[in-house]
Amino acid sequence: MKLAYVGLPCQLQALRKLQLFSSEIGQSWADSVALSIGLFCRENWAYTCLRALVEDDYGVKLSEVDKFDIKKGKMLLYRNGEVLQEIPLPETKPYVRVGCEVCLDFSAELADLSVGAVGSPPKYSTVIVRTRRGMELLRRAEREGYVEVKHISEVKPGTKLVLKLTKEKRDENLAEAERRGRAGYSARHIATMGEENLEKLVAEAKGKSFADLERDVIDAGMCVSCGACVAVADDRLEMVEERPRLKEGASGDVEEAYLACPRTSLPAMVMAERLFSGEGEVKSDSLGKYLDVFAVRATEKARLTRWQDGGAVTALLLCALKAGEIDGAMVAKRDENWRPIATLARSEEELRESGGTLYCYVTNLPLLKEVASR
């Protein structure tokens, strides 16, 4: 099965790490991802925290909200196109996942295509094309009339705002990682690692137990709830309230889970080198490695029913599905109370239903494994 995968920067890191160590882990299901789309991300909120913020602090029922957005320092809740509630962003900060506060990637540097709002005018999405695979899809979608594309230099504010947010996230979160380091919690994923360290990482994972994963990642507030550990440990681990847990009576020896976790170590340089080798003229700056940047919006042909910014993600996925480049896409949908649900969209209708942003984390790697292993 050829799948597309939509995820946050940390989820893309987990996916690439699973691909990098597939032979050591003895599982190659992550290779079924033929196209990855990363979403820009400053931070996100655990579902229970978002619900407490909106319903308890502001008295708004989540079932009454039909869109969330973040603009100009505010979280905005919409109903029928009108703003129902504004929440100043600083008031949401205590509810941000602690694992986000040590993440250094704003623009999903390991994706084929990275998509966000900043950089482009309203009703457009900014699309960073990182690989040839991504460029081919964007050009196909433009040719076939699914999207309208402008070079980022033709629009305002352009990449300078993306660069500013990238730098802000990096600086703030490096300072937080150092602060945690002084308190005795090491942010192990931040260490820079070359090819020569890969064997060391595999050796380090040998004999590790769930207690090690708990100490180094989960209790240290580093876990991103991607579910990579649960997926590779088969029936030994489970996610409970976004937290990996050892199943009752299961063996605590989970060295493949320790190796798969993007927060026990992150050989990001090696993953980037492998991803971008053979991609031709790759630019490299604070946005990571990429071929070019565009402002993109879906056209009438995409017939979108629900989307966040320019609808670029959904329109590109529709085009890839129609062209037979993918059999389905791992995306996120929600129930009527905004509880996020990882889902495989296999039809145009399912893709259209999955448009829009959920500002909560969606654990999706265990589902990716299940789908890819069918």
Ligand X SMILES: Cc1cc2nc3c(=O)[nH]c(=O)nc-3n(C[C@H](O)[C@H](O)[C@H](O)COP(=O)(O)OP(=O)(O)OC[C@H]3O[C@@H](n4cnc5c(N)ncnc54)[C@H](O)[C@@H]3O)c2cc1C
Nearer of residues 326 and 358 to ligand X, judged by Cβ: 358
Q: Please report whether residue 6 would count as binding ligand X according to CB under 6 A.
A: yes
**In 45-185, where do the E strands start and end?**
67-71, 74-79, 82-88, 113-116, 125-129, 147-151
- Within residues 311-340, the interface with ligand X by CB under 6 A covers 311-314, 331-332, 340
Query: Candidates 113-121, 218-226, 254-262, 271-279 — which segment interacts with ligand X by CB under 6 A?
Result: 113-121
Interface with ligand X (CB under 6 A), residue from 19, 265, 357, 363? 357
For residue 9, say if its preceding peptide bond is cis, omega within 30 degrees of 0.
no
Other CB atoms within 10 A of residue 206 CB: 9
Amino acid type, 41: C
SS3 label, residue 69:
strand
Choices 137-145, 192-200, 242-250, 354-362 (CB under 6 A): range interacting with ligand X: 354-362
Task: For the segment 275-314, give every residue that binds ligand X (CB under 6 A).
Answer: 307-314
Measured over the CA atoms of residue 21, residue 24, residue 30 and residue 34, the dihedral's sign is positive
CB of 340 to ligand X, least distance (A): 6
What's the residue count for the chain? 374
Question: Does the footprint of ligand X cover residue 7 (CB under 6 A)?
Answer: yes
Residues 325 and 340: their CA atoms lie apart, in Å, by 27
Query: Looking at 9, 38, 116, 288, which residue binds ligand X (CB under 6 A)?
Result: 116
Nearest to 11 by CA among 327, 274, 332: 332
What is the smallest separation between the CB atom of 358 and ligand X, expressed in angstroms? 4
Longest Cα–Cα distance of the chain, Å, equals 60
One of 19, 27, 32, 44 touching ligand X (CB under 6 A):
44
Using the contact rule CB under 6 A, the part of the chain among 3-11, 20-28, 205-213, 275-283 near ligand X is: 3-11
Q: Residues near 88 by Cβ (< 8 Å), separated by ≥ 6?
A: 73, 74, 75
- Beta-sheet pairing, 243-246 with 147-151: unpaired
Shortest distance, position 194 Cβ to ligand X, whole Å: 30
**DSSP 8-state secondary structure symbol assigned to residue 165:** H
Q: Is the CB of 115 or the CB of 321 nearer to ligand X?
A: 115
Of 154, 140, 150, 157, nearest to 297 by C-alpha is: 150
259 or 313: CB nearest ligand X: 313
Part of the chain binding ligand X (CB under 6 A), chosen from 34-42, 85-93, 195-203, 249-257:
34-42
How many other C-beta atoms are found inside a 10 Å radius of the C-beta of residue 251?
11
Pairing label, strands 33-39, 113-116: parallel
Q: Which stretch binds ligand X (CB under 6 A): 202-210, 220-228, 350-358, 366-374?
A: 350-358
Q: Shortest Cβ distance from residue 216 to ligand X (Å)? A: 25
Stretch that binds ligand X, among 41-49, 129-137, 245-253, 366-374 (CB under 6 A): 41-49
Residue nearest to ligand X (CB): 116
- List 39, 190, 229, 321, residue binding ligand X (CB under 6 A): 39
Cβ 190 vs Cβ 174: under 8 Å: yes
Binding site for ligand X (CB under 6 A): 6-8, 39-42, 44, 115-118, 125, 307-314, 331-332, 340, 354-359, 362
